[in-house]
Amino acid sequence: MSLTANSSRDTVPGSTTLWLESARKHRFALTLVFLLILPWLMPYEALAVNILIMGLYALGFNLVFGYTGLLSFGHAAFLGTGAYACGIAIATYGIGWFGGIVIGTAVATLTAAVMGVLAIRTRGIYFAMVTLALSMCVYYGLYQMQWLTGGENGLRGVNVKTISVLGLELPFINPTVKYYVVLAFVATAIWLFSRLLASPFGAVLEAIRENEERAKACGYDVARTKLVVFIISGAICGLAGALNALHLSIVPIETLHYTTSGQAVMMALLGGMGTFFGPFIGAATFLLIQDVASSMTNHWQLFVGMIFIGFVLFFPRGIWGSILHWLEGR
């Protein structure tokens, strides 16, 4: 496999500019700054919120894909169950918005645990296919449960007009307020993510990705570590799903489809897999290209496709990966 390992370059001495080192140390702060100003860079706020949520989704996926070397094709199941559980809690059972987010994340975590236990012993392309098959079972399962999920029509009525935070009523319907409320959750998640990577657990991940056999020989419980990573990744994607339900006020059944899993792969690859900031760059690029191209031409898929091909051929490290590589090469 040819995963772009970048964190191992942390130790490369010499010409690597000092500020790049410090940037890596403050990766969370720098990502946060980018996300704080994102709405000003985007044509409209709803798109910025989409980027935030899909970026978090790609970040969660990247933990499994870029940092551990497992190609999953079933992450839509976590985004989807997170969204449905949060949406159903709010729309059907009248639970508050915060409770909805907690429930959504919890249900997605549970789904990840079940899928992980079943899938983790397969490897390579078969891991991708088992996760794909299991996530499609989730898709068809929820599709058939029309009384609960709305089936093909999707779940409607996840309507949250105002939210109260510490006694303050915020108009969630205002797009700017909505963006920063969502950002608060996303920021918390990526801060935890950053801490995780810096912890001893992060070092184990790196060891597994570099050489699974050697990691095993060193006494690491590889299977269990992979399972834990898979579950954490599912939780992050579930949070993204719950936020998406609040953002769109609906949950489309398409959220669970394998094409949504494919999107995570595309965004991670486009941004630069195994990089901290890459998923957000990937999500922003992916959604922005589609948005801009589709408002200019009905044939937007032609251009999106060609851009993909161009990236694979000429920038295989992804956007952020290529930038890092170029900076390091100087």
Which residues between 241 and 260 bind other proteins (CB under 8 A)? Answer: 244, 248-250, 252-255, 258
Taking the complex as a whole, the smallest distance from the CB of residue 200 to other proteins amounts, in Å, to: 26
Residue 17 or 118 with smaller CB distance to other proteins: 118
Residue 26 or 157 with smaller CB distance to other proteins: 157
Contacts (CB under 8 A) with other proteins, residues 116-135: 118, 121-127, 129-130, 132-134
For residue 162, the cross-strand partners are 171
Contacts (CB under 8 A) with other proteins, residues 44-63: 44-47, 50
Q: How far apart are CA 87 and CA 81, in angstroms?
A: 10
DSSP string computed for 217-231: HTT--HHHHHHHHHH
Taking the complex as a whole, the smallest distance from the CB of residue 170 to other proteins amounts, in Å, to: 5
For residue 155, the cross-strand partners are 251
Among 175, 194, 206, 328, binds other proteins (CB under 8 A): 175
Sign of CA dihedral 213, 218, 223, 227: negative
Among 12, 22, 26, 316, binds other proteins (CB under 8 A): 316
Work out whether 90 is an interface residue with other proteins (CB under 8 A): yes
Q: How far apart are CA 20 and CA 195, in angstroms?
A: 19
Among 10, 203, 305, 327, binds other proteins (CB under 8 A): 305
Work out whether 43 is an interface residue with other proteins (CB under 8 A): yes
Work out whether 312 is an interface residue with other proteins (CB under 8 A): yes
Q: How far apart are CA 174 and CA 204, in angstroms?
A: 43
Q: Answer yes or no: are the C-beta atoms of 274 and 5 closer than 8 Å.
A: yes
194 to 17, 122, 208, 301: CA distances (angstroms)? 22, 28, 18, 35
Q: How far apart are CA 233 and CA 57, in angstroms?
A: 9
Among 191, 300, 325, 328, binds other proteins (CB under 8 A): 300
